[in-house]
Structure 1
Amino acid sequence: MVRTVIFDMDGVIVDTEPVHRYAYYRHFEELGIEVPAAEYASFTGRSTRNVYQHLKDKHALALDVEELVLMKREFFNRAFDEKPDLDLLEGVRHLIEDLHQHQMQLILASSASKSTIDRVMRRFALGPYFSHLVSGEDFPRSKPDPAIFEHAASLSEAPKSQCVVIEDSSNGVSAAKAAGIYCIGYNSEHSPLQDLSHADLVVGHFRELTAEGIAALEPAVR
């Protein structure tokens, strides 16, 4: 029986990907570097710090990683605050409320920065539903490294065998499985080119998930 649900954020709860893409490419232009679409797709699920460490090494960028992260964050914050049509993904609020009403513990484990997580929580009033908010910026390696999900599971009131992760990215699914946690892959139209084949269950819409259905999963004996 599942008692704790660990949510990714970008592409699962809210589609901030267009805002991130806008911010990244504005910054890439400013830095004078080219990032092909396939390479950009590989960044999905990785922290901003990890992405800029990769770009710094590849392009021999003079600025340090922290400066690069802060510069990109300025582009993102401005676009986030000015984007009027930014909304939760269809069906996810109902699922969150359903899980909460069934006394299931919800934990957020996102590669996003703490400031971005806080922005999303405030804008959509989601804070009261989550017992813990875990940011990828607190870990030296990004998904597919399992550290963020191992930490999230350690915060659960239930054992790891009674946790599930909801993820939309190849890196996120790999991280959840490496952490030994049952993973529901969300096949989001907002996260293209992602391989979810290693997930234990794949859904295309949150209407396919209910609190009772998730609780009835038996991750430990799959």
Structure 2
Amino acid sequence: MSPVLVLDMDGTLVDTNYHHAIAWFRAFRRSDVTVPVWRIHRAIGMGGDQLVPTVAGDDVEERLGDTVRDAWKKEVDAILGEVCAIEGARELLEAARDAGYVVVLASSGKPDHVDRYLDLLDARELAHDWTTSADVSETKPEPNLIEVALQKAGEAEAVVVGDSVWDCQAAQRIGLPSVAVRTGGFGERELLDNGASRVYDDLAQLRADLPGLPTGKPK
């Protein structure tokens, strides 16, 4: 059976991390809560269910969590048209297909956001399948997203590719190897310290290394 490439979208294939950070900042401010943008950026890659208590505390989550998440959707929708594909994203997808990987695009993003990214990347014919927030009950760093991606692919050996420490932690929790690219703004050392076996500066470096990526089976 062909190996599976569980490939993150936000921050890895599409340049959204800083858009999300600004949208969350504005969403909190709608409820008169100010969270420094740098702190929000450190949590990008988590789902909204995890991000709000992580950056603002359990009290804000209990009182305002759903309100902030609804506001975030409005804020990010307003700037979604500014999002661009990361250089080399389409070429990476083509190379992964040609290298024999079953590619599953793993995202906990809203379905309409994922549809936009698929269009932006022209990725529908290159990916075996993809996920959205509708598919998952728990977001990263919980491994549910990866588990769903593997179910869609047939549960073969796999490697997880992402841009954040949360991608690496999620893979580690399920016993899968991960590699990371620095396109999300996280540093090499912290990605390695959180479980990445290799870190690449850009998608071109990752593409060149596709034939030699480590794979494994989930525990």
Q: 1:131 aligns with which of 113, 128, 140?
A: 128
Match of 2:180 among 179, 185, 189: 185
Point out which structure has higher relative CO (alpha carbons under 8 A, 6+ apart).
Answer: 1
Q: What is the CA deviation profile of residues 175-196 of structure 1, one whole-angstrom value per residue up to 9, with x for unaligned ones?
A: 01111212111122x4235721
Query: Which consecutive residues of structure 2, in runs of 5 or more, have no partner in the other structure?
Result: none
- Give how far 1:60 is off: 6.3
Residue 58 in structure 1 maps to residue 59 in structure 2: yes
Q: Please tell me the residue identity of whatever aligns with 2:158.
A: C
TM superposition shift of 1:170: 0.8
Aligned equivalent of 1:169: 164
Can you list the C-alpha shifts for 1:40-96, whole angstroms capped at 9, x where unaligned? 13322111233245547333664561x432322111112112x2xx32112221111
Contact 2:43–2:51, Cα closer than 8 Å, also in 1: yes
Instruction: Name the SS for the 1:184 alignment partner.
Output: strand
Write the mapping of 1:22-171 to structure 2, written as runs, cut at 5 A.
Answer: 22-52=22-52, 55=56, 57-59=58-60, 62-63=63-64, 65=66, 67-81=67-81, 83=82, 86-136=83-133, 138-157=135-154, 159=156, 162-171=157-166
What is the DSSP-based 3-state SS (H/G/I as helix, E as strand, rest coil) of the residue aligned with 1:155? helix
Which residue of the partner structure matches residue 215 of structure 2?
Answer: 219
RMSD (Å) for aligned C-alpha atoms: 2.7
Letter in 2 for 1:44: I
Tell me how far apart the structure 2 counterparts of residues 62 and 91 of structure 1 sit (CA, whole Å): 42
Alpha-carbon offset, residue 199 of structure 1:
0.8
Secondary structure class of the residue paired with 1:209:
helix
Q: Distance in 2 between matches of 1:12 and 1:56?
A: 27
Cα distance per residue 1:78-137 (max 9 Å; x no partner)? 2112x2xx3211222111111223442110112322221112112332222222211245
Q: Secondary structure at the match of 1:45?
A: coil
Tell which deviates more after alignment, 138-147 or 24-33: 138-147
Instruction: Figure out how many residues of one structure are paired with residues of the other and give that number.
Output: 213
Q: Distance in 1 between matches of 2:61 and 2:86?
A: 37
**Maintained 8 Å contact 2:159/2:214:** no
CA contact (8 A) 2:179 2:199 kept: yes
Preserved CA contact (<8 Å) 2:24 2:40: no
Q: For 1:29, what is the secondary structure of its paired residue?
A: helix
The one-letter code of the counterpart of 1:78 is A
Determine which structure has the larger helix proportion and give its number.
2
Provide closer, same or farther for how the CA distance between residues 210 and 27 of structure 1 changes in structure 2, counting only shifts above 3 A.
closer
Residues 123 and 75 of structure 1, relative CA distance in 2, 3 Å threshold? same
Q: Structure 1: how far apart are the matches of 2:45 and 2:173?
A: 14
